[in-house]
Amino acid sequence: MRLSVPRHWRVKGPLYRLEAARCKGCGRIHYPPAAACPYCGSTSLERVRLSSRGVLESYTVVYSVPEGARHASPVVVGLVNLGGVRVVAELTDVEPGEVSTGMSVEAVLRKVREDGEAGFIYYAVKFRPALEAGRGE
């Protein structure tokens, strides 16, 4: 458990900025960025920034949420295509009945938990329906 905080701080920058890694070996992009390419094992990687807007390709509604997170139940988990890179993330600000494949979504940061003892607040990238569809960045 002692390792969870430093690890979080090490990876949080890339997560916040939707930074992914492009493999110079096989050209594929993975997210979140790992030290080695999950497809070919190459460690020759470069950072790329994903678009914060994407299209929901598919989703699933999860009703059996772990103890401690039941207030958030049910949870909608989506497969979001960000300019060709697929990311699996929770959807937010939307009711399960309002979700449909093909809808435009945008990334937002949401608090996921607090560690009062250590004084840390943890955030995660989630996706919500894009409020102003078509306004690019």
Binding mask 97-136 for Zn ion (x = CB under 5 A): ----------------------------------------
Binding mask 27-46 for Zn ion (x = CB under 5 A): ----------x-xx-x----
How far is Cα 49 from Cα 34, in angstroms, rounded to an integer? 14
Instruction: Answer yes or no whether residue 25 interacts with Zn ion by CB under 5 A.
Output: yes
How far is Cα 69 from Cα 74, in angstroms, rounded to an integer? 10
Instruction: Answer yes or no whether residue 23 interacts with Zn ion by CB under 5 A.
Output: yes
Q: Which of the stretches 7-15, 24-32, 86-94, 113-121 binds Zn ion when contact is defined by CB under 5 A? A: 24-32
Which sign does the torsion angle of CA 106, 102, 22, 110 carry? positive
Least gap, CB of 9 to Zn ion (angstroms)? 27
Q: How far is CA 59 from the centre of its chain?
A: 14
How far is Cα 55 from Cα 129, in angstroms, rounded to an integer? 9
Q: Which of the stretches 20-28, 68-76, 82-90, 92-100 binds Zn ion when contact is defined by CB under 5 A? A: 20-28
Q: Are 78 and 58 in contact (CB under 8 A)?
A: yes
